[in-house]
Amino acid sequence: MAVNPELVGRHFPPTAPYLVGREKVREFSRAVLATHPINLDPSAAQAAGYSDVVAPPTFAVVIQEGTLAQLLNEPGSGIELTRIVHGSQQFSYTRPIVAGDELIAQLAVESVKTLAGNALVTAVSTITDAAGEHVCTATSMLVVGGDN
């Protein structure tokens, strides 16, 4: 099944609020081999002016993941997990994610292009905080393999 071109421009409902936990930030930091004290030590983060530990730059993928699940679960999307290759990724921050943040994400499919029998799907997830302020835009380009 080909990727449904009518996904373009579709705005999905926002994800349920995600509460960023201190230990989750520390766990994720260790997993990406982050060793900076501002990622790990609340007192170091507070000394630098943050309210709590700061998440590594790629942590937003954890919040974004909920929106990509919506895309995969969309009936008739033509996007199956087993045929996806992650082509590219970008995070654009207004401010860093800090433990204690409550975040939601909203997905929009920016484009679906066809190249050499594959579909290139650009998915843009906008992450906002409890006050409704922008925190990060996470953009993924997914290469969806065509039918063999």
Distance (Å, rounded) from C-alpha 72 to C-alpha 4?
A: 12
Nearest to 60 by CA among 30, 121, 101: 101
Q: Does 27 bind another protein (CB under 8 A)?
A: yes
Residues in binding contact with another protein, number by CB under 8 A: 37
Q: Does 33 bind another protein (CB under 8 A)?
A: yes
Contact 87, 139 (CB under 8 A): no
What does residue 23 show for φ and ψ, rounded to 5 degrees?
-70, -30
Residues in the chain: 148
Site string for another protein, 108-127 (x = CB under 8 A): --------------------
Region of 20-28, 71-79, 102-110, 123-131 interacting with another protein (CB under 8 A): 20-28
Distance (Å, rounded) from C-alpha 21 to C-alpha 43?
A: 16
Q: Which residue from 8, 21, 22, 50 is in contact with another protein, where contact means CB under 8 A?
A: 50
Q: Of 5 and 19, which CB lies nearer to another protein in the complex structure? A: 19
H-assigned helices in the chain: 22-31, 37-40, 42-47, 60-73
Q: Of 65 and 74, which CB lies nearer to another protein in the complex structure? A: 65
Q: Of 54 and 121, which CB lies nearer to another protein in the complex structure? A: 54
Per CB under 8 A, which of residues 80..109 are in contact with another protein? 81-82, 85-93, 95-96
Contact 52, 42 (CB under 8 A): yes
Binding site for another protein (CB under 8 A): 24, 27-28, 30-36, 38-39, 47-50, 54-58, 61-62, 65, 81-82, 85-93, 95-96
